[in-house]
Amino acid sequence: MALDAVLNKIDETLPQSLERLMELLRIPSISTDPAYKGDCDRAADWLVAELSALGFEAAKRPTPGHPMVIARKQGPGRHLLFYGHYDVQPVDPLSLWDRPPFEPELQDGPKGKLIRGRGASDDKGQLMTFVEACRAWKAVHGELPGNLTLFFEGEEESGSPSLIPFLKANAEELKADLALICDTGLFESTAPAIVTMLRGLLGEELTIHAANKDLHSGMYGGAAMNPIRVLAKIIASLHDENGRITVPHFYDGVPELPDAVRAQWQNLAFDHAKFLGDVGLALPAGEKDRTPLEMIWSRPTCDVNGIWGGYTGDGFKTVLPAEAHAKISFRLVGQQDPHAIRENFRAYVRSMLPADCTVEFKGHGASPAGQMAIEDPAFERARAALSTEWNRPASYVGCGGSIPIAGYFQSILGMDAMLLGFGRDDDQIHSPNEKYDLECFHKGIRSWARILAALA
């Protein structure tokens, strides 16, 4: 059978696939640091050359920042767009690396062979699983699979400043029937998973002003309002005693979990105690009637990410500060409207202010939650393919974080996305000694071959 031939080819040529990944890993494409601008360009060129050699019509596409890479192969069937990013995080602190981060190496780890180096997992190793699956497919079939566009970004680790304008300017070219995004991981490092729920994110920064200058607490203490006290009272009132968020209308658009998904999540046998225990905690902090998995995947949050005011150095200063600050973010789910929540939050804060105080707000992004279209049969086919390859049932899972690209594909290109990947929790992405397990790379390539066969 043709798929078996492709899988055999993948197994036989794994050393060559690995060598190509190593080549890409040797290019220090750190997007946030202007010193590496030439290297980002070089990584894009490398991809264009590889993809062109494979038979794609590939080109580097300029942006005001780092270039995009687009590779197209016309063909029969649904048009699939594969997304990955070729840029990587900075490497500091360099002193914590066991070897130079851009001199990758295949090492023997306690649980098997692993590929050590910056970008091995995030996202060069992951994007190459798809490229290598295409290569094996072509070797067996003589041509690339189906109807494909590959789209690689070079600014994912630096806030994607060029992404939205680029998507808008090239919408016709990039719009496909379904996007495949390979930048996520295995569930609990073991089970294949397709992310179908992504939380949105709303960021707010607020400054409470009281007196028109810092005061001495001996002179004014007791009589003058302390903005830290005002801020603390506001923050304390954002959750009720059951852990629910008190901003008016906050839960508008928060859906109940469908029974089928709830059942699947229960089958995951997620170890809630271990999840919290690993970071030194024991008690879930969210709504009292929810499990931690529900809390992080399907429930909205309100968290203070930063707070400051007054004297924060060594020793003591009896200052009554003129202002106090906090950065507060909301993770959003379902149909929660970030803009409505922003307005309701600001009005709620204003309603709690003493008449003497004023508040200033600064917005830091507002993206809605993403809900993938699992009713598209491609999802069930991909899930079956993953279950076969990993010999474990693949699950639809949530993701507590935000993967903005999925939302942009939906809002700008009107295209749903399927998020799946093969990273493990201990891959140390964004940290020193990043790695990607050879098993993940190998089975990742095989997974894509199976999915391409299933979707073709």
How crowded is residue 142: how many other Cβ atoms within 10 Å of its Cβ?
A: 8
Least distance (Å) between residue 288 CB and a second copy: 12
Least distance (Å) between residue 439 CB and a second copy: 23
Which of residues 21 and 399 has its CB atom nearest to a second copy in the complex? 399
Which of residues 67 and 321 has its CB atom nearest to a second copy in the complex? 321
Yes or no: say if 394 and 380 are a contact pair by the CB < 8 Å rule: no
Crossing angle of helices 438-455 and 124-141, in 10° steps, is: 50
Q: How far apart are CA 101 and CA 334, in angstroms?
A: 39
Which of residues 77 and 306 has its CB atom nearest to a second copy in the complex? 306
Q: 70 has which bridge partners?
A: 59, 151
Q: How far apart are CA 40 and CA 34, in angstroms?
A: 10
Least distance (Å) between residue 297 CB and a second copy: 9
Where b means 16+ CB within 10 Å and e means fewer, 405-417 reads: bbbbbbebbebbb
Which of residues 266 and 305 has its CB atom nearest to a second copy in the complex? 305
Least distance (Å) between residue 86 CB and a second copy: 23
Residues 6+ positions from 197 with CB-CB distance below 8 Å: 297, 298, 333, 369, 370, 371, 372, 397, 398, 399
Q: Which two tokens stand for residue 216?
A: 């001495």
Least distance (Å) between residue 350 CB and a second copy: 16
Least distance (Å) between residue 280 CB and a second copy: 3
Which of residues 46 and 348 has its CB atom nearest to a second copy in the complex? 348
How crowded is residue 59: how many other Cβ atoms within 10 Å of its Cβ?
A: 15
